[in-house]
Amino acid sequence: MTQPLQGQAAVDQLLEILDLRQVDAATFTGDSPQTGAQRVFGGQVAGQALVAAGRTVDPARLVHSLHGYFVRPGDPTEPITFHVETIRDGRSFSVRRSTAKQHGKTIFFMSASFQVLEEGLDHHEPAPSGVPGPEDVPTMRDWVEKYPSRRSVFNASPQAVDVRYLGQPGWVPPGDRDAQAQQRVWMRIDGKLPDDPLIHACALTYASDLSLLDAVLSYHGEVWGPGGVVGASLDHALWFHRTFRADEWFLYDSASPSAGRARGLASGRMFTRDGKHIASAVQEGLLRRVGA
């Protein structure tokens, strides 16, 4: 039986995907893992676009926010070209626009802002209390053992991110998911990352797209696939508040404030195990019901 690429081997593959080839001062190319998927995973192209932008910025300036739009589905069999436009380099901030193209057409574009380290006011709301730790909730392999029909899909995809839902994953069969207004998921990159802060930001960007739209479905007890919903990310925004390591556990606390007109909005906060608020994300997605 085929086993999924997992642990450090899967993380090393993710690092290879994020290690773009530089064509010139403002152009980079990257590849996608060959998993049989019909389109490029949104978190991948967003992470790669951030890598491209970050490589044109002084490493002393750390990314603090990004705003991206998914324009077309990406072709995983073709390389992606990233062009970076320098919008501004000021005393404290650098702003870049990173555009991903395939077959001569834009599939994704992003604005990203980078800042020198500065001291200032510091506060954040507390992390959710009474939440079980990652060791006390099922792993994705535990869920796959419960639903063997998902085994082939699970085994075909590299498992570079350890994802542990406190409720049910969005891909369980219709009727097997409880309606919950709040969705909470423990995550971490399942191996060791280098110390480069840009790599950790890009890895977090990749992971942030794995479950966020699930929060919209969770509100209704809905699921992905036949008898449920199909969808795609439309846009994605991420703010980085404090330093962190993406290869250490963080809690992704998400909810959906609104859904309508075949679109759903979700927002999420990420907290370290010791309660530090490290990042916030907002995403809107296209969501359409499908028959059984």
Catalytic site residues? Answer: 209, 233, 283
Phi, psi for residue 77 in degrees, rounded to 5: -90, -5
Which residues make Cβ contacts (< 8 Å) with residue 69, sequence separation at least 6?
Answer: 108, 109, 110, 234, 235
CB of 256 closer than 8 Å to CB of 193:
no
The DSSP bridge pattern shows strands 277-289 and 250-260 to be: unpaired
Q: Is 18 helix (H, G, I), strand (E, B) or coil?
A: helix
Nearest to 17 by CA among 62, 98, 65, 79: 79
* 66: nearest Cα among 237, 201, 287: 237
HEC string of 125-172 equals: CCCCCCCCCHHHCCCHHHHHHHCHHHHHHHHHCCECEEEEECCCCCCC
Q: Are 191 and 169 in contact (CB under 8 A)?
A: no
**What is the greatest pairwise CA distance in the chain?**
56
State the Cα–Cα distance between residues 105 and 80, nearest whole angstrom. Answer: 10
93-102 and 161-165 strand pairing? unpaired
Instruction: State which H helix or E strand residue 56 sits in.
Output: none
